[in-house]
A and B are shown apart, each in its own frame.
Chain A
Amino acid sequence: MKPRIIGFLCEWCAARALENLAFCHPELPVGFQPFRINCTGSLELEVVIKALTEADGVLVAGCPPGECHFREGNLRAGLRLKALKRVLSALGEDLRRLRIIWLSSGEGERLGEEIHKFYRELSLEDRGS
């Protein structure tokens, strides 16, 4: 089965970083499915859970601390996801499946690296082809 990673990318940073990255025609792993969201702070935990049931991993990418377009959306999201991780570990879930990163719009290359790293950590790289 092909691997699947769902990405929730904040439109003010990570989604732009992905656009910048796209100009360089990078090699992205198979099955990475990015979604542009308004702010990580607007991401419902229900949606994260649903994504976790459907994909091998979920990547949430938002603006670095202090740079949120809505002042503290990323901070709120960070806390909520941290709390969700406590719940997931209580349920015996593999915590590596949920990854949270903070990066700004200029860091396209780093986003690419992070995506590759995520695939490697979940041992999904060879399942691609």
Chain B
Amino acid sequence: MKIAVHNLLSCGGCDPVFFLEESPEFFRKAEVIFWNKVKDETLKVFRKIPDQGIEIGFLCGAVKSPEHEEVVRLFRRKCRTVVAVGACALWGGIPGLLWIRKEGPRPLSSLVVPDLSIPGCPPEGSTWTVYLQGLLSGRPPGPSEEPVCQECPRDRHPFRLSDFKRFPETEPESRGCYLSLGVFCAGAVTQKGCGARCLRAGYPCLGCYGPPAGLTARGERLLSAMVSALVPQKATEALKNWRDPAGSLYRFDLATHPLVRKGKCGRSD
């Protein structure tokens, strides 16, 4: 099977999965026609490939420059199936936070409709396997309806907050849900599928798998939940001390935020 891989604006962390031991069987059999990171080839080579001549094209990263746009359109033309890989391709990812400075990238889906979207930053090996198997058997999976909390090992109980915290300010031996510790854990507004990797390693979820199916405005919802838990007398102080609001709520998807898309926000300085 002929495949092509390309990195747009990204950290380059999505495609090394091909070299991992847990990488899906699929990649060992595939014939790589084009891969900008591995082969020293230019787009010239790629343009010569006949239309629809490649079985599957994997695109990682977000779109910022005119060259990125050209690559995306070429992929759509040359590949029978286009697969968007990782948070940057799906929602703009970490580079999307550049929108705070009014110059961020766009997600891939704003240019072409991918046939399959694999979430994660980067996607876990097991996620690759599930999505590729689904694709090859003709039933490509979509986002799960359930949140990361379903797979999370931490203890849940009702709580009130007097302060918001960042992860390093929490007690290492605490076992409770991060929300109850005042940390903006994105698990509640993120689809499951990673096996709660970060939580099992003792770290709050950052939200890299994106929203569960059907959930909109996940950042605002997380904010609502956290603010509603604040003890009113302490709330003003807590909100004043809250650091990094944009990063806590929109770490991977600021580029898809309605205010960003409308172009009504971003500093002009």
Contacts and interface: CB of A to CB of B under 8 A. Distances in A.
Interface of A: 44-46, 49-50, 52-53, 72, 75-76, 79-80, 82-84, 86-88, 90-93
B235 interface: yes
Interface stretch (B4-12, B30-38, B53-61, B239-247): B239-247
Interface string B1-45: 000000000000000000000000000000000000000000000
Contacts of A53: 258-259, 261-262, 264
Best-surrounded residue of B216, B217, B219 (most CB of chain A within 10 A): B217
B265 A91 contact: yes
A49 B242 CA distance: 20
Given A82-B239, A90-B100, A91-B100, A52 B264 contact: yes
Contact of A83 (B227, B246, B257, B260): B227
A49 B217 contact: yes
Interface string B246-269: 100100000001111110111110
A75 B221 CA distance: 18
Residue of A83, A87, A93 with most partner-chain B CB within 10 A: A83
Given A49-B257, A86-B239, A91-B257, 15 more contacts: A45-B221, A46-B221, A49-B217, A72-B232, A76-B227, A79-B230, A80-B227, A82-B236, A83-B227, A84-B220, A84-B223, A90-B244, A91-B265, A91-B266, A92-B100
B224 interface: yes
A44 B217 CA distance: 10
Chain A interface mostly = helix
Given A91-B265, A91-B266, A44 B245 contact: no
A46 B259 CA distance: 11
A128 to B, nearest CB: 21
Contacts of B223: 45, 80, 83-84, 87
A62 B227 CA distance: 18
| Interface range for B | 20 to 34
B267 A45 contact: no
Nearest to B216: A46
B102 interface: yes
Given A79-B227, A91-B266, A49 B235 contact: no
Nearest to B236: A82
Chain B interface mostly: helix
A49 B256 CA distance: 13
A92 B265 contact: yes
Best-surrounded residue of B219, B221, B245 (most CB of chain A within 10 A): B245
B150 interface: no
Contact of A90 (B220, B232, B245, B260): B245
B126 interface: no
29 contacts: A44-B224, A45-B224, A46-B216, A46-B220, A49-B217, A49-B259, A52-B264, A53-B262, A53-B264, A72-B232, A76-B228, A79-B227, A80-B224, A80-B227, A83-B223, A83-B227, A84-B220, A87-B246, A90-B244, A91-B99, A91-B246, A91-B257, A91-B260, A92-B100, A92-B102, A92-B265, A92-B267, A92-B268, A93-B259
Contacts of A72: 232
Contacts of A45: 217, 220-221, 223-224
B235 A79 contact: yes
B100 A93 contact: no
A128 B261 CA distance: 26
